[in-house]
Amino acid sequence: MKIKPIILLILIVSACKSPEARYPVSRSSGSYIDESVALNKKMIAKEEDQIKKLMANDPDTEYLSSSDGFWYYYNDKVEDSIHETPEFGDIVVFDYTISTLDGDPIYDIGEKPTKEYAIDKEKLFTGLRQGLKLMREGETVTFLFPSHKAYGYYGDRNKIGSNVPITAKVTLRDIKEEPVNETNN
């Protein structure tokens, strides 16, 4: 008779045991990701070297380096302090052309329509989104973008292929402050 309470106690203790974690059947070493990172770093370094050579061959132009990973120069610069740079939500109106780093046109004048863009509220490729924030109304700036700041791996699915560094000549026509939403209480 004493055996039954002992068996019952063993069953209760083993039933209260917490479940053990199950491990995956296959494990990946992460070598694919490591290889991909190394290839991307090599590609970015190659594109940046190409841009630096282009700048070195043009000593008469004052190139500026952006903290966001691209270079640019002013074709037409506005020096007065009246004109401000756009801020989050402001609507900017601009025209732009896109060329290869060698200067071959990809989208020439008129191929890209004048564009209205709400700063950081709409889709636009990374470099241009960041570049517009550096500009004042009336300025024309030429940007040199490595592919990861331009259209990246996918290109624009039209004229710009995969991993193509570009130059974009941008004229900022107008800056309209973000509309204020007024509600009646």
Q: Categorise residue 30: left if φ over 0, alpha if ψ from -120 to 50, beta otherwise.
A: left
pLDDT at 184: 47
pLDDT at 109: 85
pLDDT tens string 86-106? 999 999 999 999 999 999 999
pLDDT at 185: 47
Number of CB atoms found within 10 A of residue 172's CB = 25
pLDDT at 76 over 50: yes
pLDDT at 49 over 90: yes
pLDDT at 2: 58
Q: What's the gap between Cα 63 and its chain centre?
A: 21
pLDDT band, residue 83 (cuts 50/70/90): confident
pLDDT band, residue 31 (cuts 50/70/90): confident
Indicate the burial class of 92 (C-beta count within 10 angstroms; 0-12, 13-18, 19 or more): buried
User: CATH number of the domain at 62-176, out of 1.20.1260.10, 1.10.150.20, 3.10.50.40, 3.40.710.10?
Assistant: 3.10.50.40
pLDDT tens string 112-158? 888 999 999 999 999 999 999 999 999 999 999 999 999 998 999 89
pLDDT at 139: 96
Segment 1-19 mean pLDDT: 64
pLDDT band, residue 80 (cuts 50/70/90): confident
pLDDT at 144: 98
Alpha carbons 95 and 178: distance in angstroms, whole number: 20
Domain boundaries, given as residue ranges, for the chain? 62-176
DSSP H helices, the chain, are: 3-15, 31-56, 126-132
- Does this model's pTM top 0.85? My answer is no
| Mean per-residue pLDDT over the chain, rounded | 87
